[in-house]
Amino acid sequence: MKHRHDLLIGACAASLALFACLQPALAQSGSVLSDTSDVELQQKVQAQAAEKIKCAPLADAAKAQEAFASAVNDKWDRAAVGCAIEYGLTAFDALPQSDERKVAFGLELMGAIVSYFDVIDKSYNKLYESTDTAAELSLRWETNRANGDKVLAALEPAAADVVEFRLLSAAFKLASSQRGVDPMVQGKLQSEALAGLQGVMAEKPEALGGLAPLLMGQLLYALPGFLGGDVEKAGALFERARSIDPNNLAAYRGLVEYHLKKREPEKVAAVLEAALKVDPQALNAQDFVDDAQFLGGLAVRAGREDLAASFNSERAKMLAEKPYLQTRKKAASFGHGAEDPFTGKDSNELK
């Protein structure tokens, strides 16, 4: 079923911002809320955030499942995806344990939950958050973590031996630990996830479109050597992920990073050129414009302005076709918005 394929492969493949899994927990960073000791203000803002993330009640299980399917891939709208997951939980809870559809739908729901961490993460401004936005995003993150724990616990009795369940469990540990956890806990979760991914790689590396080699590659590339990191193995894993799913732009991103690190300009160019041949219509539109922006930036780093311009052109076409997509404009230093304070150029334009 195409919808399920989109969730469990396309969505999950982008579940982690590339190499972000080792970043410090940032749920409280750079926000007015985290800097204040005013308990009353904190409570007020948190109550407002709770109201903001509420979804219209939808008790009918069939309608809840339809609502889940209709909005869960709308990654440009964090509120819509958040409510889609809530409706998915309603539909999942309504299925009896004996219903053979429960495991299949539960895995689909877990794919959405893992992917939603990326949606929330990309909503953070990289420099500074307003108080209300910081509170909202933090609450969405913790709610998503709790929802994932709930679904995994419900699935485990029937799906513990299912490869896709173990793979999504590992992906959930990696994605959920990016924010709001102690570094020691984060390290523990990453170790558990790596062990789970190794098991999947030994049994079924092609599961969920090669998600296991992609995530293992990201981990091994990001980890220092004394913690088990291995750049060479990471490069091979990215290539394995791309061979399993040639449309997975996250695998291309990993390969470009790897060849840049190895100072292999010809191979960098070859991977970028191959990425440009991926059909944007085969991907989630928001994922495509995000990945095109990232790959264009890598092309600039590689000194290939021509390839950067091509990524920018394809991205511009998609944004013109779907103007509701997020452009991911970020504030630059010195308060000059998205413009470079020295050149006046928009940093989001790759050409």
What's the CATH number where 319 sits?
A: 1.25.40
Residue 123 sits at φ, ψ, to 5 deg, of -80, -15
Domain boundary pick from 216, 233, 266: 216
Residue 15 sits at φ, ψ, to 5 deg, of -65, -25
Q: What's the pLDDT tens digit per position in 166-214?
A: 999 999 999 999 998 888 998 899 999 999 999 999 999 999 999 999 9
Per DSSP, 346 falls in state B
Residues 209 and 299 reside in one and the same domain? no
Residue type, 15: S
Q: Mapping DSSP to helix (H, G, I), strand (E, B) and coil, where does residue 224 land?
A: coil
Residues 212 and 250 reside in one and the same domain? no
Give the pLDDT confidence score for residue 284 in this predicted structure.
97
Tell me: pLDDT of 156 over 50.
yes
Residues 177 and 274 reside in one and the same domain? no
Residues 73 and 145 reside in one and the same domain? yes
Q: Angle between the 101-121 and 61-71 helix axes, to the nearest 10 degrees?
A: 40
Residues 208 and 281 reside in one and the same domain? no
Residue type, 66: E
Is position 271 within any domain?
A: yes
Is position 228 within any domain?
A: no
Residues 62 and 192 reside in one and the same domain? yes
Q: Is residue 334 very low, low, confident or very high in pLDDT (cuts 50, 70, 90)?
A: very low
Is position 221 within any domain?
A: no
Residues 211 and 261 reside in one and the same domain? no
Q: What is the mean pLDDT of residues 135-144?
A: 95
Task: Please name the residues in contact with 151: beta carbons below 8 A apart, sequence gap of 6 or more.
Answer: 89, 92, 106, 109, 110, 113
CB atoms within 10 A of CB 153: 9
Residues 7 and 148 reside in one and the same domain? yes
Domain boundary pick from 216, 232, 263: 216
Cβ atoms 68, 82 nearer than 8 A: no
Is position 229 within any domain?
A: no
Percent of the chain predicted with pLDDT > 70: 82
Q: What is the mean pLDDT of residues 143-158?
A: 97
Q: Which residues of 300-315 are buried (b: 16+ CB within 10 A; e: fewer)?
A: bebebeebbbbbbebb
Cβ atoms 91, 65 nearer than 8 A: yes
Long-range contacts formed by 316-325: CB under 8 A, 24+ apart: 317/280, 318/280, 318/285, 318/288, 318/289, 318/292, 319/289, 322/285, 324/76, 324/77, 325/76, 325/285, 325/286, 325/289
Q: What's the pLDDT tens digit per position in 241-282?
A: 999 999 999 999 999 999 999 999 999 999 999 999 999 999
**In whole numbers, what is the pLDDT of the chain averaged over residues?**
85
Give the pLDDT confidence score for residue 313 in this predicted structure.
98
Is position 23 within any domain?
A: yes
Residue 243 structure tokens: 């061979």
Give the pLDDT confidence score for residue 347 in this predicted structure.
44
Is position 11 within any domain?
A: yes
Structural domain harbouring 280: 246-351
Residues 282 and 324 reside in one and the same domain? yes
Q: What's the pLDDT tens digit per position in 80-115?
A: 999 999 999 999 999 999 898 999 999 999 999 999
Residues 210 and 105 reside in one and the same domain? yes
Is position 224 within any domain?
A: no
Per DSSP, 339 falls in state B
Residue 291 structure tokens: 């990945």
Is position 222 within any domain?
A: no
Residues 171 and 263 reside in one and the same domain? no
Residues 89 and 137 reside in one and the same domain? yes
CA distance linking residue 342 with residue 135, whole number of Å: 33
Domain boundary pick from 194, 216, 238: 216
Considering only residues 233 and 346, tell me which one the structure prediction assigns the higher pLDDT. 233
Count how many domains the chain has. 2
Per DSSP, 8 falls in state I
Outline where the chain has alpha helix (H): 2-5, 12-13, 32-35, 39-52, 61-71, 78-94, 101-121, 131-159, 163-176, 183-203, 211-222, 231-244, 249-261, 265-276, 285-301, 305-321
| Of 179, 137, 162, 7, the residue nearest 85 (C-alpha) | 7
| Through-space distance between the first and last CA atoms of the chain, rounded to whole angstroms | 38
